[in-house]
Amino acid sequence: MPTITVNIDDQKDVDLLGEILNRFGLSYQVNTDQQFFSKEEIDGFSQTRKDFYEGKTTAWNWNEVEQDLNNAFR
């Protein structure tokens, strides 16, 4: 079964899309969980960032990592 993921910022749009999907007889699920990473993963990212700023690692430029993460989860 195909799945479509849509990111919607406005609750009015969520409600409207739900009405449209209902009219077409389609089942759907609304997921309001915005967190993509576990607390442990977020803590690890924070530690990596801290290490970078303290000069403990030079493997990646933090600005590039941050940009990659932003692009991946828009």
Tens digit of each residue's pLDDT (9 = 90 or more) over 43-68: 888 998 898 888 887 666 778 888 88
- Tokens 């195909």 belong to 2
Tens digit of each residue's pLDDT (9 = 90 or more) over 7-50: 888 889 999 999 999 999 999 888 876 667 778 888 888 998 89
pLDDT computed for residue 74 by the predictor: 66
Q: Per the structure block, which two tokens stand in for 46?
A: 């924070």
Q: CA angle, corner 16, sides to 15 and 19, nearest 5? A: 90
Closest CA to 74 of 20, 34, 43, 40: 34
pTM: 0.42
Measure the CA–CA gap between 42 and 36, rounded to whole angstroms: 10
